Amino acid sequence: MDRSEELKANACARVDAQRRTLIELSDRIHANPELKFEEYNATAWLANFLESAGFAVERPAYELPTAFAARIGDGPPHIAVLCEYDALPGIGHACGHNIIAAAGAGAGAALAKIVHDTGGSIVVLGTPAEEGGGGKITMARAGAFEGTDVAMMVHPAGADVAQMKVLAVNEIEVEYCGRASHASAFPHRGINALDGLVTAYNAIAQLRQHIRQDERVHGIITHGGQAPNVVPERAVGLFMVRAATERRLKRLMQRVEGCFRAGALASGAEMSIRNVAETYSDMWTNWALADAYAENMRRLGRELLDPASVAAALAGSTDMGNVSKVVPSIHPMIAVAPPTVPLHSVEFAAWTASEAAHRAVTDGAKALAMTAVDILCRPDLLAAVKAEFAAHRATGEGHE
């Protein structure tokens, strides 16, 4: 058995030894869902676990109260394993961030003693507010990934695949301001802000027929008036606009803004638009790193889907895309539910505390740890990872 094989076996054995603790950690986070930037319990539980594994933990970290950075080892290569742990309003851990957190922490703990033998360093980053808050973007600006050679995490889904289809996204709020009036006695004196928003909403519905398959526009009306006999003087909508690349997102945004302007023109209401969240980028999957992860996952008995076979419709957005433009990164998906169960649903939330979820915690931790061992022991792999990332940057691939 060569050195890397022995270290991988040791890492997997360490995960197995902590299986019960990792599952309890995942289930505790699942049972106590916390929204973006409010994940104080999850942060404490994860940080305490990593401290007990020998990590030096900085908390808070990188300008965010619910972020942390747990470090062990010294010198290159520098490997970052990322944890997410925020939940969704109303439906809890319907994106399975409890699994991401426990798998990431488990991988870190499995590597804690290995880096003393191999050299190199591990940082487990607690990254809050993936669900719309852009925690990783704030952390990147504050220097969280400076000097990092690779970054990785694993996300629950309905299938095993080495790549998630990631769309760039803007989240925007549009507001229409009109003039209130009695809707029966003096309707002619009113300017109906809700009519402006509804006109724009319908225009966007028509636009959807003529956009690319990998583009999305979806939204809700968050305020539409207070009484039916008063002409609404204010109406507000919240929309998300997605596209395959940042450049395409900018072009689609221009078309969506045209729909908003049409609503203002038709109703006579004044219209304003503002971004309510960071712009999430598309993702540069580093295939040298992803292939290593896929091979390690196969060793655990999981058969990964060919990314080309995954429908373009099965796409989402994540601030891990922004990280992938800073450091070579992967964001693979691990199966915890049947492929027919959609993420961000009550049904998927139930699956993220199931036996399948428990297996995903341990398999995810093992696969991430084994992939880290590959980076620690194979200079040729790290060179290939860096060369691919440099090529991405040089060509601007992903921005067409």
- How large is the average pLDDT for residues 326-334? 97
Higher-pLDDT residue of 95, 308:
95
- Over 60: is that where the pLDDT of 255 sits? yes
Residue type, 14: R
Q: What is the pLDDT of residues 110-163, one digit of tens each?
A: 999 999 999 999 999 999 999 999 999 999 999 999 999 999 999 999 999 999
Q: What is the pLDDT of residue 311?
A: 56
Q: Are 113 and 73 in contact (CB under 8 A)?
A: no
Q: How far apart are CA 345 and CA 352, in angstroms?
A: 11
Place of tokens 């540069």: 284
Any residues with CB less than 8 A from the CB of 249 and at least 6 apart, and which?
A: 168, 169, 170, 241, 242, 243, 279
Residue 318 to residue 34: CA distance in whole angstroms: 18
Residues 6+ apart with CB under 8 A from 60: 66, 67, 68
pLDDT score, position 399: 42
Task: Tokens for 38, please give them.
Answer: 């409010």
What percent of the chain is predicted at pLDDT more than 90? 93
Question: For the chain, how far is it from start to end, CA to CA, in angstroms?
Answer: 45
Which residues fall within 8 angstroms of residue 316, CB to CB, at 6 or more apart?
164, 165, 166, 167, 343
- Average pLDDT in the 85-110 region? 98
How confident is the model at residue 1, as a pLDDT? 55
Who's near 292: CB < 8 A, 6+ residues apart?
Answer: 371, 374, 375, 381
Question: Cα separation of 36 and 294, whole Å?
Answer: 30
Query: Tokens 């969240």 map to which residue?
Result: 277
By C-alpha distance, which of 243, 237, 335, 333 is closest to 285?
A: 333
Cβ atoms of 212 and 248 within 8 Å: the answer is yes
The rounded distance, in Å, linking the Cα atoms of 152 and 56 is 20
**Cβ atoms within 10 Å, residue 27:** 18
- Look at residue 3 in the predicted model and tell me its pLDDT: 87
Taking residues 64-89, what's their average pLDDT? 97
C-alpha angle 301/307/309, rounded to 5°?
A: 105
Q: What is the predicted pLDDT for the residue at 365? A: 98
Q: Has residue 193 got a pLDDT over 60? A: yes
Q: Which domains does the chain have, with CATH numbers?
A: 3-166+282-395 (3.40.630.10), 168-275 (3.30.70.360)
* Sequence-distant contacts of 221-229: CB under 8 A, at least 24 apart: 221/194, 221/197, 222/173, 224/194, 224/197, 225/193, 225/194, 228/183, 229/182, 229/183, 229/184
When the pLDDT of each residue in the chain is averaged and rounded to a whole number, the result is: 95
The alpha carbon torsion through 84, 89, 92, 93 (nearest 10 deg) reads -30
For residues 257-266, average pLDDT? 98
Burial group, residue 347, by CB count within 10 angstroms (0-12, 13-18, 19+): middle
Contacts of 373 (CB under 8 A, 6+ apart): 4, 7, 8, 11, 111, 114, 118
Q: Is 1 helix (H, G, I), strand (E, B) or coil?
A: coil
How far, in Å, are 168, 284, 343 from residue 389 at the CA level? 19, 8, 30
Neighbouring CB atoms inside 10 A of 74's CB total 11
Say what the pLDDT of residue 400 is: 45
Cα 388 → chain centroid: 22
CA distance 38 to 208: 35
Strand pairing category for 234-243 and 216-223: antiparallel
pLDDT-above-70 percentage for the chain: 97
Write out the two tokens for 269.
């209401």
